[in-house]
Amino acid sequence: MPEYNSNDPYAVDIDKRISDIQSAMHERDIDVYLGSRIRTMSFITDAFVPWRSYIVIPAEGLPTIFTFVIDCARLLSETWMDEDHVRGYFGAGGAEQIDTIQYFIEEELDIKKGRLGYETGMATYTAEGWLTHYEFERFSEALPGFEFINAHDIVDGASLIKDEGTINRFREAGRIVDAGQRAAREAIENGGWKGMTETELGGIAALAMRREGSVSEWNFAGLNEISSGWRTGLGACTPPTTKEFAAGEALMFDLHAMFKLALGDHSHNYLLTPATERQRWHADNFVACVQFVADSYRAGTTPGDLITECGKFAEERGCADFILPGVEHGIGLFGDEWRVGASMDVPIPYWTDPDHVYQENEMVILAMQYAAAEDDVGFRYENPIVIKKDGCELTSKYPLAIEEIS
């Protein structure tokens, strides 16, 4: 177990993370936990685990990760775990995923029967890492003495409130994203946007952020997400296309960075000249609504409260028809980027609980979308925030504005 170094601003308490999970396992009488989601690997190994992996957590003792054997040495060099707890699987007799883990649980941990926690559910992005139907069936056959219990909310609950080291990592990821935004702006100003595609701009920003210390633009999502023109009118800022920027269009630059698994995420918007009065009106509405929501976040509020208040504010400005419902999404370490909260008892399973009560040092992405499809214009704002007692801290410091670029 790594020593917690209080002098390291980015230190995280791995011991506490594991003991929190094991305490919850004891409460539910779970003998062994089989994690398969990316976010679970990130939270426990404190390392980048991009290949399909599984982590076995006994009720007592250290966890062991199983990853594709070709990445074992790299993972071993980055995680706190030792060689005995970083295992590989490979397409060979006794060494493939199911055989390896079955043998490990039954023969090395000597747990032949009991309750096995695993991770299943749904999400908006493919690479969440839920145990597949095939894997579930194979593990069930290989471990006949076990009752399989869906228990991913154990890890979700343990990772909800961020410690100081984690928050500092997000602050640094925010600084890196801001460097990406500055590079993006420099690339498009003074006519630089002419002939430039969304994908090219995504690459320019990626290089700038890598030079500042980012290691990924989030390969579990759409990398840097850039849109322009008609697609902004849908409020969408999904993966970039080869479309070229054009005069009179709106631009959305949603940049992703990663620093020590903390996810930097800031979406900034521009209007390419000449901007119409109608575009400017939409832009000013959006900036005002984002500012209103940023000023409203604090411990004790709920997603339901915030969307209601934002709706009233937008109504007063006459732009309620253009604000898409929702002012946030969840955020955590690499692989954790969707619903708010950890409870499985929510009105719409695997979506944000509107009644979730925010606590201090919880983090979410302040995320808002504005869609004026008939005017082919829209905007998106994203910024990871730290919930405070009386407000919130924005991790990206890039100024909130929608500038006109010529």
Number of residues that bind other proteins (CB under 8 A): 20
If the CB atoms of residues 69 and 234 are measured against other proteins, the closer one turns out to be 69
If the CB atoms of residues 86 and 173 are measured against other proteins, the closer one turns out to be 86
If the CB atoms of residues 10 and 103 are measured against other proteins, the closer one turns out to be 103
Cβ contact 244:377 at 8 Å: no
If the CB atoms of residues 69 and 196 are measured against other proteins, the closer one turns out to be 69
* Nearby residues of 234 by Cβ (< 8 Å), 6 or more positions away: 371, 373, 378
If the CB atoms of residues 95 and 394 are measured against other proteins, the closer one turns out to be 95
* Strand pairing class (402-405; 363-372): unpaired
If the CB atoms of residues 138 and 175 are measured against other proteins, the closer one turns out to be 138
Residue 83 C-beta: closest distance to other proteins, Å: 6
User: For the chain, what's the residue count?
Assistant: 406
Residue 69 C-beta: closest distance to other proteins, Å: 5
Residue 70 C-beta: closest distance to other proteins, Å: 9
Residue 99 C-beta: closest distance to other proteins, Å: 8
* Closest alpha carbon to 382 in 219, 301, 264: 264
If the CB atoms of residues 86 and 385 are measured against other proteins, the closer one turns out to be 86
Residue 294 C-beta: closest distance to other proteins, Å: 46
Site for other proteins in 273-332 (CB under 8 A): none
Residue 108 C-beta: closest distance to other proteins, Å: 9
Residue 91 C-beta: closest distance to other proteins, Å: 6
Residue 56 C-beta: closest distance to other proteins, Å: 13
Site for other proteins in 34-93 (CB under 8 A): 69, 72-73, 76, 83-84, 86-93
Cβ contact 185:214 at 8 Å: no
Residue 12 C-beta: closest distance to other proteins, Å: 25
Q: Which residue has the tokens 């957590």?
A: 57
If the CB atoms of residues 95 and 324 are measured against other proteins, the closer one turns out to be 95
Residue 100 C-beta: closest distance to other proteins, Å: 7
The CA–CA distances, whole Å, from 303 to 28, 31, 205, 308 equal 29, 35, 31, 9
* Closest alpha carbon to 59 in 18, 113, 106, 15: 18
If the CB atoms of residues 89 and 338 are measured against other proteins, the closer one turns out to be 89
- Tell me 275's DSSP state: P
Q: Which amino acid is at 185?
A: R
- Tell me 7's DSSP state: T
Task: State both tokens at 138.
Answer: 């194979």
If the CB atoms of residues 71 and 200 are measured against other proteins, the closer one turns out to be 71
How many other CB atoms sit within 10 Å of the CB of residue 68?
A: 16
Task: State both tokens at 371.
Answer: 């869609």
Q: How far apart are CA 162 and CA 281, in angstroms?
A: 38
SS3 state at 390: coil
How many other CB atoms sit within 10 Å of the CB of residue 340?
A: 23
Site for other proteins in 207-246 (CB under 8 A): none
If the CB atoms of residues 81 and 209 are measured against other proteins, the closer one turns out to be 81
Measured over the CA atoms of residue 105, residue 111, residue 112 and residue 115, the dihedral's sign is negative
How many other CB atoms sit within 10 Å of the CB of residue 246?
A: 11
Q: How far apart are CA 371 and CA 379, in angstroms?
A: 7
Q: What is the dihedral of CA 82, 101, 23, 331, to 10 degrees?
A: 80
Site for other proteins in 95-134 (CB under 8 A): 95, 99-100, 103, 107
Q: How far apart are CA 10 and CA 53, in angstroms?
A: 25
* Closest alpha carbon to 35 in 120, 140, 95, 158: 120
Residue 51 C-beta: closest distance to other proteins, Å: 12
Among residues 3, 77, 94, 347, which is the contact residue for other proteins, using CB under 8 A? 94
Q: What are the residues binding other proteins (CB under 8 A)?
A: 69, 72-73, 76, 83-84, 86-95, 99-100, 103, 107
